[in-house]
Amino acid sequence: MDNVNEKPIAGLIFKWFDIAVTAADKVYSVSYELDKTIAFITGIDFTTNRDKLMYQRGTHRLEVNRFEVFPEGFPTKKVYHLPDVEAHKRFYRRGIKIPVGNGIVKVEYKDTSDAIAPFEPYNIRVVLDCELKEN
């Protein structure tokens, strides 16, 4: 059964940016500008080099083109998927395409102390599943 609304793989691209969490109980603000060739964000994923730390300690706020996708204090563990999850299920999808508009993606990631996961420096990678503009 053919679905004519599906995008060919050539029309999709991943973009990502990193956040270095270097101190406990701190908010890290990052702005990232997407290429002008990107029309929509269709999925969002957070990954890390220290699973337990991000899972237990992390909350965030994320906006695209001044549109709040995740509100302040949203648990990052709700967006995070372990590597053993099937690849096509790793992205948090809101069921809509998020228009890129001005192309600015802003993330405020907050590390909060947790006795189960004592602090040590870690990195967060925000991965965006994007759809290119049609020529």
Is position 49 within any domain?
A: yes
pLDDT band for 6, please (50, 70, 90 cuts).
very low
- 20-60 pLDDT, tens digit per residue, is 999 999 999 999 999 999 999 988 888 899 989 999 999 99
Task: Tell me whether residue 125 is exposed, middle or buried, using C-beta atoms within 10 angstroms of its C-beta: 0 to 12, 13 to 18, 19 or more.
Answer: middle
> How many domains in the chain?
1
pLDDT band for 77, please (50, 70, 90 cuts).
confident
Is position 113 within any domain?
A: yes
- 82-120 pLDDT, tens digit per residue, is 555 555 555 656 667 889 999 999 999 999 999 999 999
State the average pLDDT over residues 7-19. Answer: 78
Domain ranges, residue 82? 26-132
Residue 125, domain CATH = 2.60.40
Is position 94 within any domain?
A: yes
Is position 85 within any domain?
A: yes
Tokens representing 69?
């996708």
What's the pLDDT at 93?
Answer: 61
Is position 84 within any domain?
A: yes
